Structure formats: C-alpha cells, structure tokens
Amino acid sequence: MSSDRRFDRSARYLNRELSWLEFDRRVLEQASDPAMPLLERVRFLAISASNLDEFFMVRVGGLWMLARQGRAQRDISGRTPREQLAAIAERVRELVDRQYALWERELEPALARAGLQRLTWEELNAESRRHVERVWEDEVLPLLTPRAVFPDEPWPRLAGLTLHMAARIRRPAEGPWLGGEGWAIVAIPRSLPRWFALPDEGLLRFVLIEDLVRGFAARLWPGAEVLDTAMFRITRNADLELAEDQAADLLAGMEDILAARRESDVVRLEIDAGVPPATAEWLRAGLGVPAAHVTRAPGPLGLADLMRMADLPGAERLRFAPWPPADPAGWRRGEPLMPQLARRDMLLYAPFESYDPVVQFIEEAADDPDVLAIKQTLYRTSRNSPVIAALIRAAENGKQVTAVVELKARFDEERNIEWARALERAGVQVIAGVRGYKVHAKCCLIVRREAGGIRRYVHFGTGNYNERTARQYCDISLLSASDDYGADAAAFFNAVTGLAQPCAFRRIEMAPLGLRRRLLELIEGERRHAEAGGRARIVAKMNSLSDRELIDALYAASRAGVDITLLVRGICCLRPGVRGLSERIRVVSVVDRFLEHARIFWFHRGGDPAIFISSADWMPRNLDKRVELLIEVVDPAARRRLESILDVCAADNVQAWELRPDGTYERRRPPSRGTRVRSQQRLYELAQRAARLAQQAGRRRLDPYRLEVGRGGGPAQAPGSAVQRPRSSQSRQRASATARR
C-alpha cells in the first residue's frame, strides 16, 4: 500500500522500545495513585520493575548484539540500534528514578504507618539481633558459598536476577592463604526469603536478606577483615533463538538454549547507590556492562521482589476488595457441559467470569467414554495444571490425545519441556511446535461419538490454558459444538501436526497463511465504504500494534473517512490524531487491577458487522512468525457480549489513557457532572448481573448483555455514550425492574 510522502518514518511511526517503556510508565502511575489500596500500589511498583527486567532481557539484549555487530538497519521509526539504545538509557534512568522516589518517599513510609516496617541492621535492638543471629546460623549461612575473584582468572558465572554481594577483604599475612587484599562474591539464593520477620506484637517488622548478609559478613571470612561490601544484581540477555534447521532434536535444542541463557551477556548491572566509584567500576568492567546500563539504586535492588509483600497473608485491608468471578450466563454448574454446548455457544470473559467451564470441558472429555480424541495446543500452563493432568488421564483411558506443546514459549521453556516428557510417558502424541514458528494459537478440539454420529466440540481462546493466570488476565473463551468451528479446528490441527495445506476455512483464519490478508481485506473494505459515502468504522482491541503494513492500512482508512478506535494496552507504533494522516484514529490504553489481554476486532462492514476474537496481536512476529488464529464469532448473544466489552472499554474515563501524536499518553478524567466509567469494575458488575438474571431465568434462553451495546448493533461511537443505554421503552422497563430487584 502506498504511503503519504509528506510524512517520513519518524513522523509516521513511534519507536517500539520507547512505546514499551511508556506502558511501564503507565503501570508505575498506578503505583503513584494515593486512592489505590497500599499493597496494590506496592504490587504495581513490583510489576513495573518486573516489566523493566523483561525489557532488558528480551529487547535491550537483542539491540545490544546488533549494535556490537555494527548493524545500522533502522527500525520502523527510522532509528539505528545505537540510537535506540541511547534513547532507552535516558528513558530508563527517568523511570528508575521515579520508581525509587516513589518507594522511598511514599510507599515505604506508608507501609511503616500501616504496621509493615523495614528495619536496617543499625536499627535492630538486642532481642532482634539475637533472633536474626539464629536465622543466620540455621537458615542462611548453610546456603551461602563465597567465591574468590582473582585478577588473572575469569570471573565466576553469576545467575541473572539474583542478589549478590561483593566483598573486599584483607587477609592476614600468616596462615595457609596468601595475605593482602582481594575480592570475593557471594550469591544470595532465590530460595531464601527476601525479608525475615522480627519478633514484635501488633506490628510486622522485618529485615531484608541483604541487610542480614551484610551484617554478618565477617562470619563468612573468619580471621579476615571485610573492608567494604557492595550489593549488586545483573540481568542477562535472554534474546537467544534456536537454529531449528540445525537442531535434530527440538527438546535437546531448547535445553541448550536454556543453558546458553544462563551464561549469556550481562546487559544491565544494578548496584547500591552508596558503592564507592572504584568498586562500581570493578564490577562494571568485570561483568562487561556498558556504562549506560549501570543503575545506581538508592533503595533495595530488585523491586520486583516486592510482589511477595503485596501478597502478604493477613493484610487484606490493604488490598482491593475481592471480585469473585461470576458463573457465565448459560452455564449450569454441576451438569455435563457438552449437552449445554449442543444447545448453544458459550462465551465467557475471565476473570470477571469463572474459567471453570474451560477446565471442565477438558476434564469431562478425559473421563467421558464416548469421547474418542482430544487435540490441544499448549503455550503456557500452570505448575500443577489440571489441563495437563486431564490430558494424561485421557491418554491412560485409551483416548487418542494429541498435544501441540510450544517449547519456545519464552521463560516457560523449562516447564514446557517437563510437561512434554510427562505427556509422552502417558502415551500422548506430543508435537513439539512447528519448525520455524511458535504455535501461539489457543484451540482444543474434542471428538465425541453420539447417537447421531460423530460430533466435534471446540474451544477457542485469546489466552493460555492456565487457570491461575485466568484470575488476573482478561481473556475471551468461546466454546461451541458448531459444525463450522469443528471442521475448521480439525483442518487447523491437520495443518499444524501434518503440515497439510488447509482447504478454505469457514469461520477462522490462520497465521502465517491467511490471517494478515484477512485483516487487510477487512480494513480495505471499510475504506471503500467510506469512499463511497457510507458509514465506516473499526474498533480493535489488542495488546500491541507494531505491524507497518496494518498501520499503513489504518492510516489510509482514516484518510478516507473511517472512524477507528484502537484499544491497545501496551506497545503502539501508530501515531493517532496527526492531521492529514490519522485524524480519525484514537488509541486508548486501559491499565487497571487485571491485565488487559483479550483481542477483539469489530468491523462495521456496511451495516452487517463482523466481529472476531484472536490469539494474535497486530505485530510482525504474530502475523508472520507464529501460528495464530482469528475466529469470527457468529452467535448473536456472543456478538452482543463482545460489542458490550468494546463499548465499555472505549468509554473508560477513570483507568484509561489516550495516546497523543508525540507518543506520550494523557490520562482520561471523568467529567465533573458526567458518568464515571471504570471499565473493569463495570464489566465485573455486568457479569454479576448476568449471572443473577440467568439464575432467575432458569433454563430459558437469555441474553443479559442486550442492553449494553451501542445503537446500530455495534460499540458506542463516543466514550460513555452507550453505557447501560436501553434500546426501547420495553427494554427500559425491564432494566428498571432489574434495578429495583
């Protein structure tokens, strides 16, 4: 698609890496909100720090390798790797300064006032010293192993994201070892708690593990003098890929990658702010870290560890009030699921609704004597996954079970290798991904013998088969016994497991085959409707948008008169609101207590709207390097439900941010006299109401979301314009009666 020559790359596109950091800034702003419960603020600070760890592992590491190799190719915004690294260093410095200022000036003092107080080594009284001495002798010292660092020998291999203490020591001249000064490093194992509670009544006082190790440092080197110590933490490059054309055994190849990751380049060094310059330089040079990637922290290193504090038992008053998930409307708990699906499709939105139907779907199939086969993709699962247990049980029950286990799911490779081997031992046919691609699609197909013949049941999802993350990630699940979906799912699995060229799908599209083309066709269709003088509109919800071809298509649609609302949680390389380029595009990001993760795409299509769910973001890797699915939703009630979700998210004026043309985000504020819309709270309330209405209706077919969509059968045009808007006087009467109940 031709581009407008008036706009060069830097004017058309935002840098992906800086957009990632902008998302982390929005997360950090949650931690800055005084209206939020205290431990939830601590949690968001920990998430911000964890995001930054991942950013250095998977993005900075790759850019650094390109820069070291002298590569000068430019990214979508026109920057070279070195230019990106320079911009990143400046932005990260600002972000880290804000993190520690927030911790030291606001959160730590507020925690102390709430009864959660950190004491330094110097603040410990005699009773506390005796207590921590017992902890040191019994729990800590047995796990510590100092390692000497000699000037003429290679540095020891140090683990990433692990606290270490460097100590400069002076040994006496007499004795078996040479006298003089030297260095040693002590790793503090992650198996140890980050903090230890101190004896106290009514308060929770604690000491950090690093303060304890420093305080007893002299006991690690009896007879020597500890001159000074320095706490530090490193981040290693995790952007390593398997050369699959050279790996005869994918399992063994992935184990090699995991081993290489433990010894990869150090891309970030965090050290205490008070470390002497000579010690800091010794660490930097020894670890081979660029000066721009050294962070001096004025507080505890590894703020991501604060996540454990946020989950502290017994401190519920300092956290959000619980939002227990509702039972999805139409699901009858305790009854067999497949007969329910034979009557109608079921769409659920976790975590507002229970994920139990999805687990039941697979567990029921494992034990059902009429089920002949189960085929499923697995990307990330929980540690004690009931889904994996059900697949193993199904194989042991004599069913034909096929599991496509993606071994290259970053940071879950080790767990997936373990699951793959356990499944194979049980007799499951394990497909270790697809050579050259990551299988990111979320699909489960169940083949069942019934009175009328063979019937297929399908689950499609936007999130992983992980019942734990389903409590925190907003994701769509579609369960169906539709013949179209069943035929498409069967063709999909044949393509993945047997490399068969699928015939034309009925209701889905698959990357890398036709998904990109289908999205471009849908966007182009809206452009043509606008040019013909008709109404044209696109609403798309996703995690990230960085694909240049799709961005250009959206720009062309905007110039033709298409109204475009993009609900993009994280990375967005499109510049909205640029005159002559993207005036009709707005980009909204919602950041709240749950992680926005669902992908929903809506196209007006000349008054005959099409709506889809998908496993894929609009990024080159998803469309070209991954196996993904795009699923058209046809059930009327499910369509209205998805339109309701888009409507409410677009209307958010409490937890939503709007992207400006310069790449920064501005937080929306509710109008002084208008409707206050916090989308996640509204969606939770809708799910609870739908469950109540469904329970009252019994077995009657019910669409409790009919009232929640905008006029014209689509999401609302403007923020808040369709929130809880009845469609007729009869609907208003029903809504009024419901409110009274």
Show which residues are catalytic.
440
Q: Based on the number of CB atoms within 10 Å of its own CB, is 364 exposed (0-12), middle (13-18) or buried (19 or more)?
A: middle
Q: Are 556 and 630 in contact (CB under 8 A)?
A: no
Q: Which single residue is written with the structure tokens 């903090």?
A: 195
- List the structure tokens of 315: 């401190």
Chain mean position to CA 633: 24
Distance CA 374, CA 700 (A): 31
DSSP string, 621-669: HHHHSEEEEEEE---HHHHHHHHHHHHHHHH--SSEEEE-TTS-EEE--
Amino acid 470 reads: A
Q: How is residue 185 annotated by DSSP?
A: E
Q: What is the dihedral of CA 239, 244, 247, 253, to 10 degrees?
A: 30
* Percentages of the chain per state (helix, strand, coil), in multiples of 5: 40, 20, 35
Structure tokens at 435: 């050579």
Distance CA 315, CA 204 (A): 10
The rounded distance, in Å, linking the Cα atoms of 255 and 232 is 28
Token pair for residue 408? 């290259």
- Total length of the chain: 741
How far is Cα of residue 125 from the mean position of the Cα atoms in its chain?
A: 43
User: How many Cβ atoms are within 10 Å of 645's Cβ, its own excluded?
Assistant: 27
| Rounded Cα gap, residues 26 and 309, in angstroms | 21
Listed residue (38, 300, 44) closest to 195, CA to CA: 300
The single-letter DSSP state of residue 356 is: H
Round to whole Å and give the CA distance between 604 and 712. 10
Q: Return d(Cα 555, Cα 238) in angstroms, integer.
A: 34
Report the relative pairing of strands 438-439 and 429-431 from DSSP bridges: unpaired
Q: Could you give the CA distance from residue 366 to residue 62 in angstroms, rounded to a whole number?
A: 43
Mapping DSSP to helix (H, G, I), strand (E, B) and coil, where does residue 49 land?
A: helix
DSSP string across 430-444: EE--BTTBEE---EE
Q: What are the backbone angles phi and psi of residue 47, rounded to the nearest 5°?
A: -65, -45
Q: Let me know if 83 is exposed, middle or buried by CB neighbors in 10 A (0-12, 13-18, 19+).
A: middle
437 beta partners: 434
* The two three-digit tokens of residue 232, written as one number: 């530090």
- In terms of Cα–Cα distance, which of 591, 509, 601 is closest to 27? 591
The DSSP call for residue 422 is: H
Q: Specify the amino acid at residue 106.
A: E
Where do the H-state alpha helices sit in 447-583?
A: 483-498, 515-531, 548-560
CA distance 493 to 456: 13
Give yes or no for a contact between 661 and 577, defined as CB atoms under 8 angstroms apart: yes
Report the amino acid identity of residue 628. Answer: E
Furthest-apart CA atoms within the chain: distance in Å: 97
For residue 413, the SS3 value is helix
Three-state secondary-structure class, residue 90 = helix
Cβ burial of 603 (10 Å; 0-12, 13-18, 19+) is buried
